Amino acid sequence: MKSADPMQVPAPTASTGVPASGSATDLDKYWTAERMAEAVPVEEQQAREAQLPTAPGTPAPRSPSKPFPGIKEVGTFYWAEDGEKRFCAGTVVTSPGKNLVATAAHCFDFADQMQALVFVPKHSKEDPKPYGVFPIQKGQIYADPRYMKKGGDKAYTGLDFAILKTDPRADGKALQDVVGSINLGINLGYDHPQTRVIGYPGFEGQQTPLDCTTPLKKFTTGNEDDIKGGTFPEVNCDGYVSGTSGGPFITGSPNAMKLIGVTGGWKTGGHSPNTSYSSYFGDEIKRIYDAAVAGRVPVPVVLPGPETWKHAKDVESGYFTLNGPVEQDSMDMLVRWSDGEISLYRGAGKELNYFDKEITIQKPSKLWADHAKNAVAGDFTGDNGSDLIVVWNDGEVTLYPSIDEAGFHGEKQLMPPNATWAKYSATLTAGRFGGNEWQDDLVVRWSDGELSMYQNTGDKLGKEFTVLKKNETWPHAVDVGAGDYSGGDGWDLVVRWSDGEVTNYGDFTATSLGTEHKWQAPNPTWPHAVILTGGDHSDNPYADDTLVRWTDGELSLYVDGDEKGIGKENQLVAPL
């Protein structure tokens, strides 16, 4: 059999006519000037042409724009998608691999449907490929996963930026070696009187770049049309209609240029042809850039660092938020801090590091800092949302029903102040231990080793059962959690002992500890686990995952535990 001629363009796919190969030679041949002229802007910005000529209210002073040949560091992406050819602008940014291009994330939120994706530096109608084409392979688009999910362009307008990694062109030369690059300008603020804005408007197939120099200023807006508001860099240049997405905002002299924005963000770049926006280039774009350099998926930074986690007094899993980013039932995490603040972290998928949003439901409070002794989450009201029971230093026991993003919704006293709960209640957990279908069975380990269950706790404490009488062993149970690990009808009790042993009691009930499974033998590591709580944070529908906060501020999530072990560890927060 003869080998294929390397100079031949491979046979196109039957359905699209796009070459199956992603080689630079094949794609250079495919992207002719005629095919580039057929490309249309991304759908998100096509509507800009039909909108008002200026933004509502008093028109902002506008700077003139003019067609020009372009600059070599700025160009266009081209790709085929659903039988159409599309384009978007991008800017080569300085990188160790000499292969990165910055643009708007909304250009690529259907990345799995793209074919024959390339970057073409300094494209213009007169000279379509002055420096050739640079392919982008599948998996080389780096953007915040929250933005790239369905609805992310409305919910995360401040994250509308992406970094794409290119392959060398046909002669093997890297992009940055061919055309140079512009440094990323990170956290440079909003006051830039001389900002150069370059865009590629889609005028009837003539993607000739526009050039404009204008003041950049701060624009702040509230939510509108289900689109999340915020603060964005704003520029006002004539004629930046659809197609200009991803085009650069550049400051500095020609020898010291910095990229401080790309057309995107609020309403995917603007609500008129003469006003454009960018998501702010701060720590988030640096995170995306670092991920692209390393060749790894960007992980949202939602959880605070280890120094903060040293101050977590309670960590609870539950269903607190009303709407999350994942379809499966992924629990949220509620944290009570040493200063009395209470934070809620919305549950998400593994690709979002399991939590994608922080919500403060209680600001720092001296009452909560000085007087809250213990807390536990469960479904005590039976509405499928999670509630919080708090034991106070004076022995009062209080129920806070249906906590959500809006905070607390009243309180119910389950037990008035008393000496017994004040002096002797040591640790709490709640689970589904046989009373009914709800996670409303409250378990209390007392300081003398007694173990009690208050079954079917609701607007009052449930029926009390003594599971264990006073003994010498259980005072060493320094932490108690609950979850559905062993696969039986009920939940299990998990105990971390003072010597580092971790034990699972399968199908724990009001009258029996259940079947004992030793997850960890006594060891020197687990005495450093400060807080342990069970819940449902992974893909399966069971509460078989375990959050652990360590003395050094590390936070771990162990997923898919069973009677044999706690499960696979995922480090959510690295230690100092």
Predicted confidence (pLDDT) at residue 36 exceeds the cutoff of 70: yes
Residue 18 lies in a domain: no
Residue 5 lies in a domain: no
Task: Among 294, 323, 354, identify where a domain stops.
Answer: 294
Reported as a pLDDT band with limits 50, 70 and 90, residue 20 is low
pLDDT in tens, 336-372: 999 999 999 999 888 888 998 899 999 999 999 999 9
Statement to judge: residues 335 and 412 lie in one domain: yes
Statement to judge: residues 251 and 355 lie in one domain: no
Residue 11 lies in a domain: no
Predicted confidence (pLDDT) at residue 413 exceeds the cutoff of 90: yes
Statement to judge: residues 371 and 234 lie in one domain: no
What CATH number should be reported for the domain holding residue 287? 2.40.10.10
Task: Among 271, 294, 317, identify where a domain stops.
Answer: 294
Predicted confidence (pLDDT) at residue 456 exceeds the cutoff of 60: yes
Statement to judge: residues 166 and 193 lie in one domain: yes
Residue 8 lies in a domain: no
Report yes or no: 144 and 156 within 8 Å, Cβ to Cβ.
Answer: yes
Predicted confidence (pLDDT) at residue 328 exceeds the cutoff of 60: no
Domain around 46 = 24-53+62-294
Statement to judge: residues 216 and 359 lie in one domain: no
Amino acid occupying residue 257: M
pLDDT in tens, 297-316: 898 889 999 999 999 999 99
Statement to judge: residues 88 and 35 lie in one domain: yes
pLDDT in tens, 98-136: 999 999 999 997 777 889 999 999 999 889 999 999 999
Closest CA to 278 of 244, 239, 227: 244
> Can you give the pLDDT at residue 352?
84
Statement to judge: residues 28 and 165 lie in one domain: yes
CA distances from 20 to 2, 109, 113, 363 (A): 20, 22, 14, 56
Task: Among 272, 294, 316, identify where a domain stops.
Answer: 294
Statement to judge: residues 134 and 157 lie in one domain: yes
The total number of structural domains that make up the chain: 2
Report yes or no: 82 and 31 within 8 Å, Cβ to Cβ.
Answer: no
Share of residues in the chain with pLDDT > 70 (%)? 92
What CATH number should be reported for the domain holding residue 323? 2.115.10
Predicted confidence (pLDDT) at residue 57 exceeds the cutoff of 60: no
Statement to judge: residues 471 and 395 lie in one domain: yes
Q: Buried (b) or exposed (e) across 406-431, using 16+ Cβ within 10 A?
A: eeeeeebebbeeeeebeeebbbbbbb
Reported as a pLDDT band with limits 50, 70 and 90, residue 45 is low
Statement to judge: residues 486 and 533 lie in one domain: yes
| Better-scored residue on pLDDT, 447 or 152 | 447
Reported as a pLDDT band with limits 50, 70 and 90, residue 543 is very high
Predicted confidence (pLDDT) at residue 264 exceeds the cutoff of 50: yes
Statement to judge: residues 414 and 522 lie in one domain: yes
* Element counts in the chain: helices (H) and strands (E): 10, 36
Reported as a pLDDT band with limits 50, 70 and 90, residue 204 is low
Residue 300 lies in a domain: no
Residue 156 lies in a domain: yes
Determine the Cα–Cα distance for residues 281 and 491; give it in Å rounded to an integer: 47
> Can you give the pLDDT at residue 48?
41
Q: What is the maximal distance between C-alpha atoms in the chain? A: 90
Predicted confidence (pLDDT) at residue 47 exceeds the cutoff of 90: no
The three-class DSSP label of residue 66 is strand
Residue 191 lies in a domain: yes
Statement to judge: residues 277 and 389 lie in one domain: no
Residue 258 lies in a domain: yes
